[in-house]
Amino acid sequence: MKVTTERLPDCEVRLTVEIDPERIEKSLRQTTRKLSRRMRIPGFRPGKAPYNVILRRVGREALLEEVVEIEGQGWYEEALEEAKLEPYDQAKLEVSSHDPLVMTFTLPVAPVVDLGEYQDLRLDWEPPEVSDEDEEKELARLQQENASLEPIERPAELEDVATLDIEGRIGDEVVVDVKERTVVVSQDINYPVAGFTEKIVGMSSGQDHEFTLTYPKDHANTAWAGKEAHFKVHLHGLKVWVTPDMDDELAKTMGDYETLDEWRASVRQQVEAQALAQAEQDYANAAVDALTDQAHIEFPAVMLERELDSMMENADQSLQQRGLGLENYLVMTGQSRDEYRESMRETAEKRLSRGLVLAELVQAEGLEVAEADVAAEIDRMAKAFGDKEESFRQTLASEGMRESLRNRLLTQSAMDTLKAIARGEYKPQTMAEPQEEEETTVTLETAPAETAGEAVEENAEDMIDETPRDKAPDAGG
């Protein structure tokens, strides 16, 4: 067997295999013996026709195709071993010559990532500044969150909350019939039809009111579109949002505080912590982008297609949770699956590249996660569930969940390392102390689609504030 290889662009290799004539002849004779048992050849009993007779009857080229079908996989594996190649996915076979028999396999191989002088990467770091205005905005937001609905006796105004009985008819058809429906009296609300809430302005509790409105010509229900509807409305009551005063009493309801100043100081700390976390996340993402830009990255086309498969699946799951599903979303947006898939290609390529770069950084720095670290993370997460701690802990007991946590912690380690490099604070790891026998460590494998492309990159962008990447679209696109 003569084996030659040629490196092609995009992590493909052309593997050319020429089979020795002696092996071909042996395989041809074995194949003809099998064929002779199935073929009816005049003058010969089944299985007794000579080799030359079958060769003339079937043809050498057809017999060779049969040989390749039978022996090809074995020859391919033998050639891979000789060439010391490990395919990333299935190869494409072409028989480029029958005499001699030459098979050409085009196979994808593992990605290639060269980080370059990554330890020289530098990015400016500016700690975030929190102003008094930022603090006041957060206090005002929390104040509004603690507003309460209070009954009020006066004519209805915009932004009131009204409780209504509503009956609407188009001719004899009842189009709306609800009792004690809560409606915000707002020009932004088009229920049950645009202009309805304005008709409530000026009504008092206990009052009845009748009026007509026209449904828009482009209304979703074509039977109602452009038609006039007659409404009867009864107002049961009105409520308004009452915002508590910014004082010590409000502070006491917000936690273990006695005064407004204590609460204000705590809010300031929270705002500063949130600003720092966001700045750290933005800096980490910028560092990954910078490293990705300077790195040399090649990956096989099939890896990108797998990434797109994953993104399509994530999109469908996300939309299913919203009661929509990908197919319905595509109908709503007027896209085919292929069009939608293609629209994600640039994002998929970026995700994959970032994941491969982080995976290579893990390998270059020898980053590891100890089982003790995984156990500590499980403890931390479980305790946040209070009385459901044990139930949540059991959920995390599966190896699949633990593996996900390992990858998450390893991603965090990679991001922290990269941030330290970019700030000029990098200190190479020293040789670790020998570990106890029961202590094991795990490293991120570089099987790139599942680990680098998914486990690392799924966590990388949202590692600091733990907001999930969603990768799936919003219902609105």
Nearest to residue 304, comparing CAs of 85, 10, 107? 10
Instruction: Select from 3.40.50.300, 3.40.190.10, 3.30.70.1050, 3.90.1150.10 the CATH code of 2-109.
Output: 3.30.70.1050
Backbone angles phi, psi at 407, to 5 degrees: -65, -35
Same topology, domains 2-109 and 148-242? Answer is: no
**Spatial separation of the C-alpha atoms in residues 315 and 313, rounded to whole Å:** 5
Domain borders along the chain are 2-109, 148-242, 299-460
Percent of the chain with pLDDT over 70: 88
Question: CB of 297 within 8 A of CB of 111?
Answer: yes
Tens digits of residue pLDDT in 300-349: 999 999 999 999 999 999 999 988 889 989 988 889 999 999 999 999 99
- DSSP 3-state assignment of 157? coil
Q: What is the structure's pLDDT at 331? A: 87
Backbone φ/ψ region at 341: left (φ over 0), alpha (ψ -120 to 50), beta: alpha
Tens digits of residue pLDDT in 84-124: 999 999 999 999 888 889 999 999 999 999 999 999 999 99
- DSSP 3-state assignment of 257? coil
Average pLDDT value over all residues in the chain: 86
Quick one: average pLDDT of 143-167?
96
**Spatial separation of the C-alpha atoms in residues 312 and 410, rounded to whole Å:** 26
What is the torsion angle, in degrees rounded to the nearest 10, for the CA atoms of residue 177, residue 183, residue 186 and residue 188? -70
Give CA separation, 162 vs 196, 209, 290, in Å.
Answer: 12, 14, 54
**Spatial separation of the C-alpha atoms in residues 467 and 45, rounded to whole Å:** 75
**Helix H or strand E segment including 96:** strand 92-98
Whether the per-residue pLDDT at 13 is higher than 80: the answer is yes
Whether the per-residue pLDDT at 442 is higher than 50: the answer is no
Q: How many CA atoms lie within 13 A of 465 on its CB side?
A: 14
Q: What is the structure's pLDDT at 47? A: 65
Q: Which of 14-23, 134-143, 463-472 has the lowest mean pLDDT?
A: 463-472
Nearest to residue 184, comparing CAs of 135, 229, 246, 238? 238
Which CATH architecture describes the domain 148-242?
A: Roll (3.10)
Tens digits of residue pLDDT in 40-91: 777 676 666 777 777 787 788 888 888 898 899 999 999 999 999 999 999 9
Length of the chain: 477
